[in-house]
Chain A
């Protein structure tokens, strides 16, 4: 049984940090705002060139907002985890009745809360600055966001597990992951732009199904024939990654219990 009290303790610990230092909020939202504004202008400029057959703003800005949402979920989990490393909390936390799945639950809850807030801010800015409404995506928006959320959580847990295994100095591994994945996710271009071998790898990246379908929906205004198959494949892959990442994290936790690394993490974080 999971304890809501203990999950809320982990969540509240992060919320207290935001309340105690509002500058932390700026670090979450500032880059997203800059990204939306920058890509909004790029899209607007591209749309003014030649004979575009579709609205660049609609396609690119929609994709950017969804992608940033996923990246924010991943980094939100990683940041909350790193916060506990930097402030050397592991002994106090893991010596309490806190279970590892409750700890992960608290990290995920924190990340989802801040990511949804970030998403709403991006939507508001895209609407105010470029007249873009995310609702143009239609009903497809809901499964897209859920799939990206699941994949973002899986990536966040995976990166945290890597840091848990390799030590605090391995945090740099987490930062470029969204950038690397974006190459294969087809955020900025269709998958057909990739060479064959990379396209095969892209099929293993769940967001590629979101952005491939999104582009088709926005270009033609109707759901493509492969919509259902894409959703099933994307969801199945995301769920598999989530299960795999959670298993990996728990395995590392158990290994650290045997090796004594949980206590030693305090020293390395100094």
Chain B
């Protein structure tokens, strides 16, 4: 891995019986870089993220975070990773403050009290500190998920559709915070989304996944034109509908 690499994936594969959900993919994420992982539903994005998180065992391949293999060192490696995903719920019957305390202890955060106070300010959650997570609105819950996702100052942040179902104002705020986090901490970020405008605004590089394979890779601002499409959304649709034709081109 080069000096700036925070994540390197080599020939990662996941099979469920005869079905190959992820098929020998290789990619990397550099420090301070935001990489978009795109693809239609069922392309293998969440499977890939779950394997990097260590909650799904790969059938083959290698996952290295900060030059350390995940296999056999999951707990140690996980200290430098965190994530937020629409499908991963925070305990709804705990308050915002209690949730951050529990996750701060899970990640063994030093100076936890001060860290929580700073996150509550940063994510505008101070007035909601004693509100149960289950009573928060979608936007508030997303802010809590993100506060939890950066509580351990991760060097690798995985975001699986972090702005799904949010209004444009909250989405914009979240994008801004994440860009700022990558810039100020040098963390690498792997981001999945179905919002192509968002991807263009946030990501430095994108990977298009289709049927478990990486089909295309490049700069989100030029990739569409490189493949004769008017914008990233048109390219996404082509990847979803006729991936083989796109590869032949």
Would you list which residues of chain B between 86 and 134 have a CB under 8 Å from chain A?
87-95, 98, 101-103, 105-108, 132
Identify B55's interface contact among A21, A88, A94, A97, CB under 8 A.
A94
B93→A3 contact, CB < 8 A: no
A13 & B76 in contact (Cβ 8 Å cutoff):
no
The reply to whether B78 and A96 contact each other, CB–CB distance below 8 Å, is yes
A258 touches B57 (CB 8 A): yes
Contact A91 B87 (CB under 8 A): yes
Q: Could you tell me if A6 and B93 are in contact, using CB atoms closer than 8 angstroms?
A: no
A contact set with B: CB distance below 8 Å = 3, 5-6, 8-9, 12-13, 16-17, 20-21, 87-99, 254, 257-260, 262-263, 266
> How long is the Cα–Cα vector from A93 to B92 in the complex, in angstroms?
14
Q: Whose C-beta in chain B lies nearest to the C-beta of A257?
A: B57
Q: Is B83 located at the chain interface by the 8 A CB criterion?
A: yes
Indicate whether B53 reaches chain A with its CB closer than 8 angstroms.
Answer: yes
* Chain A contacts for B89, CB-based, 8 A: 87-89, 92, 266
A20 and B55: CB pair below 8 A? no
Q: B106 touching A91 by the CB < 8 A rule?
A: no
Q: Kindly identify which residue among B46, B75, B88, B90 contacts A97, using a CB–CB cutoff of 8 Å.
A: B75
Q: Decide yes or no: A260 and B91 within 8 Å by CB, A93-B106, A96-B106, A96-B107 being known contacts.
A: no
User: Is there contact, CB below 8 Å, between B108 and A260?
Assistant: no
Check A96 against B103 for contact (C-beta < 8 Å): yes
Query: For chain B residues 41-94, which have a beta carbon within 8 Å of chain A?
Result: 46-47, 50, 53-57, 74-76, 78-79, 81, 83, 85, 87-94
Give the contacting residue for B91; candidates A6, A89, A96, A259; CB below 8 A: A89
- Given the known inter-chain contacts A3-B108, A260-B16, please indicate yes or no for A16 contacting B94, CB distance below 8 A: yes
Within 8 Å by CB of B56, from A5, A9, A88, A257, lies: A257
Residue in A6, A257, A262 whose beta carbon sits within 8 Å of that of B105 in the complex: A6
Q: How far is the CA of A64 from the CA of B207 in the complex (A)?
A: 63
- Given A97-B79, A257-B55, A13:B102 Cβ within 8 A: yes
6 A-B pairs closest in CB distance: A9-B105, A95-B53, A91-B88, A96-B106, A97-B78, A97-B75
Of B76, B83, B132, which is within 8 A of A95 by CB?
A: B83
B contact residues around A12 at 8 Å (CB): 101-102, 105
In the complex, the chain A residue whose C-beta lies closest to that of B98 is A16
Provide the bound-state CA to CA distance between A88 and B106, in Å.
17
Interchain Cβ contacts under 8 Å between A and B, 12 examples: A5-B108, A6-B105, A17-B93, A87-B92, A95-B54, A95-B83, A95-B88, A96-B78, A96-B103, A97-B107, A98-B106, A257-B56
Chain A residue with the shortest CB-CB distance to B94: A16
Bound together, the chains give a CA A88 to CA B92 distance in angstroms of 9
For the complex, give the distance between the alpha carbons of A259 and B50 in Å. 12
